[in-house]
Structures are given as structure tokens and as C-alpha cells.
Amino acid sequence: MAPPPRSGDAIFANVDRVNAELFTLTYGAIVRQLLTDLEEVDEVNKQLDQMGYNIGIRLIDEFLAKSNISTCVDFKETAEVIAKVGFKMFLGVTASVSNWDPEGTTCSIILEDNPLVDFVELPDTCQGLYYCNILSGVVRGALEMVSMKTEITWVRDMLRGDDAFELRLKLLKQVPEEYPYKDDE
């Protein structure tokens, strides 16, 4: 029998951890480097999303290995798992899920505590920057690896004066899993 799923808190308590400030400042250094190199804020948003995607497609393995979570029955469960287990086990913070559409394919993940943005304030020249765009890339990449194509956008951003961070997740399509082998082989 498969071991029971573990809670985000339990996993986080057991993994190696580092000071969040090192993480925050390193992320800040990355964003600053991108702004210098790419100059256009839109390009930086794109690059951050790409970096997140690269992380997401690898991070999902660790996530599945440590959480013992098996297939979610629907997108609602998936979103809950991302918010409660995923965010907790990597970033040490929990998020909540709300604002479901009637079809159950679009929802919001709301983050009130976000280690990426300590010490950060957006200058006037960077108003179009989605500073945390790496996070949306991570979620998109990770979900793609478990057969879900999603579109993820920022609805609220505390760096832009909102009261929380809100990621809007839209399930575009669920790609049926294809096995690289056939049963009779």
C-alpha cells in the first residue's frame, strides 16, 4: 500500500532549510541582473516566467517524491494541494484557494506571506514588472508535468499596493497521460 500523503508542515519540518533572507536577496539579485540585461520590463517578466517554468518541471519530481500525493481527483484538489502542500514545503508559507468559477476550472491562489518580496519596493521605472513572475512559472511548469496545461496570471500584487498576492489559475486542458510503452510489450 502506498504511504499516506504528508502535510506541508510535516515535510517542511523534515527538509533541509536555509535562511529566507539569502533566498530573498538572491532572487533580488537575479531580478536586478535581468533588468540591467534585458532593459524592457516585459522581457524581464517573460524571462522570470521561463526560469520559473524550468524550475517547475524539475521541482514536481521532488514534490511527488516527498509528499506521497497520488493523483488528484479533480482540479479543485490539485489547487488545494499546491496551496497547502506545495507552497509550504518549498517556501515555508501557506496559501489559500478561492474564487472558483462554476465550472471548477479557474480559481485563485492567494498568498499573504511571500518570502520573495521582503525588502522590495518597485521603483517608478518598474511599475509594469511582475516581480514574483517566477512563481507563476513554477506552478505552470509543475502542472504541465502532471498533464495539466494552465494559464496563470497575477490579479493582485502587494508590490503594486494590493492587500495580498493573487494568482489566477485557469485550467486550459488536461492532456491524457501517454505511456511510453504498450501493455503487450
Q: Could you give phi then psi for residue 132, rounded to 5 degrees?
A: -95, 20
Half-sphere exposure (Cβ direction) of 113: Cα atoms closer than 13 Å: 9
Q: How far is CA 18 from CA 21, 28, 92, in A?
A: 9, 16, 11
Distance CA 178, CA 143 (A): 15
The binding track of 127-146 with respect to another protein, each residue x by CB under 8 A or -, is: -------x------------
List 62, 74, 77, 151, residue binding another protein (CB under 8 A): 62
Minimum CB–partner distance for residue 129 and another protein (Å): 15
Distance CA 86, CA 91 (A): 8
Q: How far is CA 15 from CA 9, 18, 67, 146, 158, in A?
A: 10, 10, 11, 23, 29
Residue whose CB is less far from another protein, 32 or 149: 32
What residues from 63 to 92 belong to the interface with another protein (CB under 8 A)? Answer: 89-92
List 1, 2, 19, 181, residue binding another protein (CB under 8 A): 19
41 near another protein, judged by CB under 8 A: no
22 near another protein, judged by CB under 8 A: yes
**Which amino acid is located at 81 in the chain?**
V
Residue whose CB is less far from another protein, 166 or 171: 166
Interacting residues with another protein (CB under 8 A): 12, 15-23, 25-30, 32-34, 37, 47, 51, 54-55, 58-59, 62, 89-92, 112-113, 115, 118-121, 134, 158, 163
